[in-house]
Every structure is written in structure tokens, then in C-alpha cells.
Amino acid sequence: MSGTTSSRRPEYLGDPTLARVMLRPQWILALLLALIVAAVFAWLGRWQMDNAIRTDAHETSQFETPRPLSDLAEPGAPVTEAAAGAVVTVPGAFRADDLRVVAPRDNAGERGAWVVAHLVTPASDDGEGSHLAVAVGWAPDEGAAERVVAQLSSDPEFTGERELEGRFMPSEGPTVPEPGQDPSLLESMVPAQLVNLWNGVDGPAYAGYLVMHPTGDASELLDTAGLDPIDSVAPEAPESVNWLNVFYAIEWIVFAGFAVFLWFRLARDAWEKEHELQLLEAADGVDSSV
């Protein structure tokens, strides 16, 4: 009797294997259903994650709506986050003797030079105007920019009163001149450095500078000087993270994994139940033989 029991029990324990149970048609169909459910849950998790990071388009549109520069910045004060990159309007007159060339400057993927001017705003109540650096336009090389400087310096219409529109930008980092290089050479837009080169600065100066837009008489000025408009890139919209959406996204990913795990657990339970029944049948056969 003992010999009969020991010879039959391994046969019932070894077959079928878990893999064979999982390959049966009903469990393959169940796996496909679990994968579909998991895919839906994963898509919902992706959707929640996409909605977790939001851009404030309304705030970006405010940057693109022209506002008076005096509403956003004050001369002599640092450029605030609300002012940096904003499109502004500012009245004033250019100084013909303060034109400068800043190079190298890239524009639309090409390297060239900027022609930079000194704008004096109308006098305020205290009798002093403010000073603002204005990037007027782009030339393909420094030589062309220098010729434009000479042309505009002798043009009486250049110094007339005008209303400019452009993007107000914070100062760039200063560049250290190489040994033997002209210390007055301008390679970056640093209004504080320009102020030291301007003539007759008798009032406060803005810490930022203006990238002039080709609107109104500014467009005619660019055409007359033969300059290209400078690329005016809007600042990226600020982003905020909604942590509740992140939590929901994690939940959906967990649910997706649980759908596949549930299929595995049910298939394993069926495999274990089948072996238990085989063991019971084997035990009943041993008892009957006794």
C-alpha cells in the first residue's frame, strides 16, 4: 500500500504545471482582457499626469499685451519678474551721438551685430527724463552695423520724438575683455556698461533694455537704415504642478498593475485548486484500495 501511494503522488503534483494552466484558452482570453483593462488604466494615468502640469496661458497673454513701460518698471530699479520679457510702449527721442554696435548677435539663426541706441524719455515732474538702451535692429556683420551708425548719426529725423513698442528685457551678464582687447568693446547687452559710454546722462537709467518691434514709425526707421528686425521671443508660460492629479495618476498606474496581478492570482488559484482535487482523488483511491 505504501508503495502505491509513493509511486502515484508525484504524477499528480507535477502535471499540469502553472505555465500549462496559463496557456489554456480561457486564461489567455482572461489575460487579454486584463491587458486591455491595464492599458485603459495606464492611459488614464497618462492623462492625469498631462493635466498635472499646467501652463498659465492667461499670464503669457498679459506679457504680449503692450503696456506703458512706466507701469512695469522704474528707472534705477531692478527688472522684476513681471516686467522681464513683457511687451511695452515708451515715448522718447534717440540721441544721435550715443549709437553703439553690440556683436556678435544671432538673429533667425544667423550671426551678425546689433545697432543699439540711447533713448531719452520725456521729462517727468522733477524735470528729468529717463534713459533706456534700445536694440534698434540687426545687421549681417559689424561693418554693416558701423555704416548704419554713421548714417543714423547724421540723420536729423533719427532724433525726433517717437513712440516705441518692444520687449523689455533684463540685463545680460557682462563679458570680460581678453588681454589686449578694447575694454569698450560691447559683446552683450549690459545697460550699466552702456550708460558709462553715453554722453550727458543727467537722469536715472533703466536696468533693462528694449528690443524694438517693427511697428509704426519704427518700421520706417528699420527700412531707412537697412536693418532687420531683431527676434523678439516671448517668455515661456509659467508652469504649476497639481499634486492631486499626480496622486490620481499614480493610482491609475497601480490599478493597471493590479489588473495583471489579479489575472496571475486567479490563474494560480485555479492551478492550485486543480492539484488539490487531484490529491483528494489520489487519497480516495488509496483509501479504496485499502
Summarised one tens digit per residue, pLDDT across range 102-113 is 988 988 888 999
Whole-number pLDDT of residue 22: 87
Q: With 70 as the cut, is the pLDDT of residue 237 above it?
A: no
What is the rounded distance in angstroms from the CA atom of residue 85 to the CA atom of residue 98? Answer: 24
What is the rounded distance in angstroms from the CA atom of residue 212 to the CA atom of residue 214? Answer: 7
What is the rounded distance in angstroms from the CA atom of residue 26 to the CA atom of residue 108? Answer: 62
From start to end of 57-160, where are the E strands?
67-68, 87-107, 110-120, 131-139
Whole-number pLDDT of residue 115: 92
Whole-number pLDDT of residue 126: 67
Whole-number pLDDT of residue 275: 82
Whole-number pLDDT of residue 96: 87
Whole-number pLDDT of residue 288: 61
Q: With 70 as the cut, is the pLDDT of residue 251 above it?
A: yes
> 153-210, pLDDT tens digit by residue?
888 888 888 899 999 999 888 776 666 656 667 888 899 888 888 887 778 899 999 9
Whole-structure pTM value: 0.61
- C-alpha cell belonging to residue 247: 496622486
> 78-107, pLDDT tens digit by residue?
888 888 888 999 999 998 888 999 988 988
- Work out the widest C-alpha separation in the chain, in whole angstroms: 124
